[in-house]
Chains A and B, each alone.
Chain A
Amino acid sequence: MSAGAGLDPTGATPAPATAATPVEDLFSLGRRANALRDAALGRRGTFARARRLLATSAWRGPRDASVSYVEAADLAALGGWAAARDAGATTLVGADLATLKHAAGARLVARVPFRGGESEQTRVARLRALVGADLSLWGVIPTPEGEPYGLDTVRFTAVCRLELPAATHVVAEVETLGPRLAQMCFGFGADDLFAQIMSERALRLGDNANNPVLTRKEAVTLIRGAGLVAAERLVNDVLEDALEEVT
């Protein structure tokens, strides 16, 4: 998908960055982001069994998913948000602000693009434009354009946490980051793991080397391994702490 179109600041002079400065030490940035997350959302990392409405109108993911979402890039083929909602989608994920703004009744998750080489001020300005759009976002997904750098990603995750309203969820997406980097983001303010959760996954070999599917146990292991309490988001955002898995 084109992750950049809607969230790039358009000509406005970026406000001076105060919450996160380009020179701030990585560890200081991470500590502040984690403290903010812990204060606002608890020291908890969540995940959900989600299914995706594809452009073909088919669903990908488990039938009993607690989250049913559609990517904004697929809306045109589906006939718009209203049609997606009628098909069962409740959450809209996308980067284009106008599309998000006109999705009545949707839970909104904004993809916030970032790419190598851009300054932290540029990224902060992008996030402030998002905050200024007044969208009542449930969460944001830091979305790399191209192959992400590890340190770029964790820094930007922390900046998202620091710049956005405290209750906004900062989501680490396994498909774009890979499981290792997605887990590291929990050390820099992320609180939600976005992955296709299946009962079993194929081996990561050959053409399937980047298989982004996680088992529930893997999701719990990643979150716990980052030092957080793992909890599954059930229907209506009921959180159920994962107690049974042994890592």
Chain B
Amino acid sequence: MGSTNALPRIRDKVRDGEPLSLEDGVALFAHRNLLEVGALANDVRERLHGDRTYFNRNLHINATNVCEASCRFCSFARLEAGDPGAYTMSHAEAWGKLQARLDAKDPITEIHIVNGLHPGLAFDYYTELLAGLKRLQPSIHLKAFTAVELHYFAKKYGMTYAEVIARLRAAGLDSIPGGGAEIFAARVRKKICDDKCTGDEWLEVHRTAHRLGLRSNCTMLYGTIETVEERVDHMLQLRALQAETGGFQTFIPLAFHPDNNALMKLPGPTGVEDLRTYAVARLLLDNIPHIKAYWIMLGVKTAQSALWFGADDLDGTVQEERIYHMAGAETPQIMSPTEIVRIIQNAGRAPVERDTLYNVLAEGDALVSDKPFRRDVRRRGLEVVS
């Protein structure tokens, strides 16, 4: 079988630091022995990070699930305000999520904000949302609005991507999450999310953000109707943009959850498929520093296992995640730092608390969950490209 024969060649390329091709990626997906692919990815992971495994303390705010898009894989969105289950938080409600953490002396370093594409909100809703959070905690890092949202803002409010990002940045935006990429292939987008931005537009939003000095993450939704060639092509497009800008921090493969949406007849990815996808991602994306096993979506057990199949990050403590729980995610909605540390240590890895930009806040003996973490860290920014 060709894919089996391809492994020694791929191993040589990985050893020599040569980027893998589309053909290599497809061969890795087709290789019958998961352990061989996993071991190779683990070599790369350990070469880059050793045993270090990152996490942060964060809070998710999904301020509204009213959404103009009708993505078939989504269980979160409600198409119109007033539909059963539809909600839009007032600013006070959203700010209250952070205030509650401050009152509880349960510190966080990041708020992750992702929403539906609400047709009835003014742009000021978003800028004031950010500004209010910064007023409560000026040091908080706001990772907010996917490229899909930013593209929607540009169209709806008549601005360029750069103008949207600049105004949000002035209100407190610090970086951009990686969601909404799904699969770039037009064939797939037409079938599962044909009324949101194209793959090229998604990439252009991130390119613009990187040029303005913002870092971002990137994702891939796998396990719907895409082929392995389309997965590999997606990752190679991300790698190409990273070669151009260097702005991506971490790649997050997102496993499709089939319950409670229009694609519920699909089986969804299995545990072995999850691990293989993580391993192939680590091998293909040689210029993106981190691969994140998002425990909310993968489940804690699979996410922990992924730490030996290419992943070096578990995301954070999270809280109140709604998007994947409405799609049947079986995970809790929050984990304490102590639990995350224990999971990482049980995997034989070394936990490292980070901030959003991967500055190290605590590791080793300093990693005690009830002690305040360091705040005197240097923030790494991207160079602004004029």
What residues of chain A have their CB less than 8 Å away from a CB belonging to chain B?
Answer: 26-27, 30-31, 34, 116, 147-154, 177-184, 186-187, 203-205, 209-210, 217-218, 221-222, 225-227, 247
16 A-B pairs (CB sep. < 8 Å): A27-B38, A27-B39, A31-B35, A149-B347, A150-B303, A150-B304, A151-B346, A181-B305, A183-B271, A184-B275, A184-B302, A205-B259, A221-B267, A225-B273, A226-B270, A226-B272
Q: How many residues of B contact A (CB 8 A)?
A: 34
The reply to whether B305 and A151 contact each other, CB–CB distance below 8 Å, is yes
B343 sits at the interface (CB 8 A): yes
The reply to whether A150 and B259 contact each other, CB–CB distance below 8 Å, is no
The reply to whether B346 and A149 contact each other, CB–CB distance below 8 Å, is yes
B32 sits at the interface (CB 8 A): yes
What are the nearest 6 A-B pairs in CB distance? A180-B271, A150-B301, A150-B305, A27-B39, A150-B304, A225-B270
The reply to whether B346 and A187 contact each other, CB–CB distance below 8 Å, is no
Which secondary structure dominates where chain B touches chain A?
A: helix
What residues of chain B have their CB less than 8 Å away from a CB belonging to chain A?
Answer: 32-35, 38-39, 42, 259-260, 264, 267, 270-275, 298-305, 307-308, 328-330, 343, 346-348
Which secondary structure dominates where chain A touches chain B?
A: helix
Interface-centre pick from B264, B301, B348 (highest chain A CB count, 10 A): B301
Q: Smallest CB–CB gap between A151 and chain B, Å?
A: 5
Q: Which residues of A contact B270 (CB under 8 A)?
A: 179-180, 183, 221-222, 225-226
The reply to whether A149 and B35 contact each other, CB–CB distance below 8 Å, is no
The reply to whether B302 and A149 contact each other, CB–CB distance below 8 Å, is no
Interface-centre pick from B32, B270, B302, B308 (highest chain A CB count, 10 A): B270
> Pick the contact of A204 from B39, B274, B328, B348 — CB < 8 Å?
B328
The complex places the Cα of A182 from the Cα of B302 at a distance, in Å, of: 10
Tell me the nearest residue of chain B to A215, going by C-beta.
B267
Q: Smallest CB–CB gap between B382 and chain A, Å?
A: 35
Tell me the nearest residue of chain A to B346, going by C-beta.
A149
Q: Which residues of A contact B305 (CB under 8 A)?
A: 150-151, 154, 181, 184
Interface-centre pick from A182, A204, A247 (highest chain B CB count, 10 A): A204
> Pick the contact of A149 from B38, B264, B301 — CB < 8 Å?
B301
Q: Which residues of A contact B271 (CB under 8 A)?
A: 179-184
Tell me the nearest residue of chain A to B329, going by C-beta.
A209
Extra 14 A-B pairs, beta carbons < 8 Å, given A30-B35, A150-B302, A180-B301? A27-B38, A147-B300, A150-B301, A151-B347, A178-B299, A179-B271, A180-B302, A181-B271, A181-B305, A183-B272, A203-B259, A203-B264, A221-B270, A226-B270
> Pick the contact of A205 from B38, B260, B298, B299 — CB < 8 Å?
B260
Tell me the nearest residue of chain A to B308, going by C-beta.
A26
